[in-house]
């Protein structure tokens, strides 16, 4: 927790900008009504509080080097995310955080970096991509593999196109279901791992998406020779306190709010194999 204040008390933030990404997804730029926001590390999350409705965990999705603003990308799946997705520019909401562990972008210096995202899982990975590209010379190959349900569900489409114009990032996008306009890959994202070019033994893999996608992706990475301790997943569990007090986010012996959300696969593999944890 980087903020010196009480981690249980939300600070007031204003939605300075709200932009629609997809039919059910918005990105908000949040500015504190007073003072500076605490810095965050790629992979961390905030608790966003829609007044009178409730509080939910949402990952930071902005560039960690852009100080002063928290960027969050939110999919409307229920009561609180729906209320946040309907906020207009200028609206006030409560923010606690940043909380949790980070993608190991600094440990990945000198290594190939393989980033695998499924659906909205690209949002928590976006700060890591920004950090890696800001230090591009310090890494080997940088590979981004991204899968969505359909072409109309591609998040940050313009930014992916911009990253693709660079000649130092290998980007593959796949969709589960193509439409008449789609000329790219069709199939699930773990299949892209097989054909991607990187040095498995010297790679660090960062994976975020639905749990089933992360399990199959981790298996594909292991099969290719990436060591389990160099594969990192971002876990989601229901959160309440976000500081390791209430037990809501318990996952076996771990609390996802403080031991995660980013955890290495050697710690997770056994737990992911158990149903109903």
Ligand X SMILES: Cc1cc2nc3c(=O)[nH]c(=O)nc-3n(C[C@H](O)[C@H](O)[C@H](O)COP(=O)(O)OP(=O)(O)OC[C@H]3O[C@@H](n4cnc5c(N)ncnc54)[C@H](O)[C@@H]3O)c2cc1C
* Residue ranges that bind ligand FES, judged by CB under 6 A: 239-242, 244-249, 255, 257
Q: Which residue number places its CB atom closest to ligand X?
A: 78
The partner in contact with residue 3, picked from ligand X, ligand FES, none with C-beta cut-offs of 5 to 8 angstroms by kind, is: none
Beta-carbon contacts of 194 under 8 Å, excluding residues fewer than 6 positions away, are 220, 224
Instruction: Compare residues 196 and 239 and give the one whose CB is closer to ligand FES.
Output: 239
The partner in contact with residue 44, picked from ligand X, ligand FES, none with C-beta cut-offs of 5 to 8 angstroms by kind, is: none
Q: Where are the alpha helices (DSSP H) in 63-155?
A: 79-85, 122-134
To 10 degrees, what angle do helices 122-134 and 157-165 make? Answer: 30
Beta-carbon contacts of 20 under 8 Å, excluding residues fewer than 6 positions away, are 26
Beta-carbon contacts of 108 under 8 Å, excluding residues fewer than 6 positions away, are 132, 139, 204
Least distance (Å) from ligand X to the CB of residue 59? 4
Site for ligand X in 73-112 (CB under 6 A): 73-75, 77-82
Angle made by CA atoms 158, 164, 167, in degrees to the nearest 5: 150
- Please tell me whether residue 59 binds ligand X under the rule CB under 6 A: yes
The residue range among 161-169, 173-181, 212-220, 234-242 that interacts with ligand X, by the rule CB under 6 A, is: 234-242
Among 233, 261, 263, 272, binds ligand X (CB under 6 A): 261
- Please tell me whether residue 56 binds ligand X under the rule CB under 6 A: yes
The partner in contact with residue 193, picked from ligand X, ligand FES, none with C-beta cut-offs of 5 to 8 angstroms by kind, is: none
Contact 136, 170 (CB under 8 A): no
- Please tell me whether residue 233 binds ligand X under the rule CB under 6 A: no
Query: How far is the CA of 40 from the CAs of 63, 84, 122, 256, in angstroms?
Result: 10, 21, 17, 17
Least distance (Å) from ligand FES to the CB of residue 274? 19
- Please tell me whether residue 239 binds ligand X under the rule CB under 6 A: yes
Residue 200, class by beta-carbon neighbours within 10 Å (0-12 exposed, 13-18 middle, 19+ buried)? middle
Q: Binders of ligand X: how many residues, by CB under 6 A?
A: 22
- CA torsion sign, 33 to 36 to 37 to 38? negative
Give me the residues that bind ligand X (CB under 6 A), please: 45, 54, 56-59, 73-75, 77-82, 120, 123-124, 236-237, 239, 261
């Amino acid at each position: 927790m980087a903020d010196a204040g009480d981690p249980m008390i939300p600070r007031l933030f204003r939605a300075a900008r709200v932009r629609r990404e997809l039919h059910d997804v918005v990105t908000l730029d949040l500015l504190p009504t007073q003072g500076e926001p605490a810095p965050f590390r790629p992979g961390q999350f905030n608790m966003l509080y829609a007044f009178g409705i409730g509080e939910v965990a949402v990952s930071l999705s902005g560039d960690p080097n852009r100080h002063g603003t928290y960027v969050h990308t939110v999919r409307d799946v229920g009561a609180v995310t729906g209320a946040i997705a309907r906020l207009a520019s200028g609206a006030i909401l409560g923010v606690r955080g940043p909380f949790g562990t980070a993608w190991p972008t600094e440990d990945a210096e000198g290594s190939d970096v393989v980033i695998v995202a499924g659906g909205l899982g690209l949002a928590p990975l976006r700060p890591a991509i920004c950090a890696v590209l800001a230090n591009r010379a310090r890494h080997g190959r940088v590979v981004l593999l991204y899968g969505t349900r359909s072409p109309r569900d591609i998040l940050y489409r313009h930014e992916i196109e911009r990253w693709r114009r660079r000649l130092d990032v290998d980007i593959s996008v796949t969709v589960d279901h193509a439409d008449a306009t789609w000329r790219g890959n069709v199939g699930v994202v773990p299949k892209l791992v097989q054909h991607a070019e990187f040095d498995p033994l010297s790679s660090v893999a960062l994976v975020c998406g639905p749990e089933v996608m992360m399990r199959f992706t981790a298996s594909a990475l292991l099969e290719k020779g990436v060591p389990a301790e160099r594969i990192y997943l971002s876990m989601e569990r229901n959160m309440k306190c976000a500081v390791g007090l209430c037990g809501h986010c318990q996952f076996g012996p771990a609390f996802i709010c403080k031991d995660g959300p980013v955890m290495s696969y050697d710690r997770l593999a056994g737990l992911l194999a158990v149903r109903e944890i």
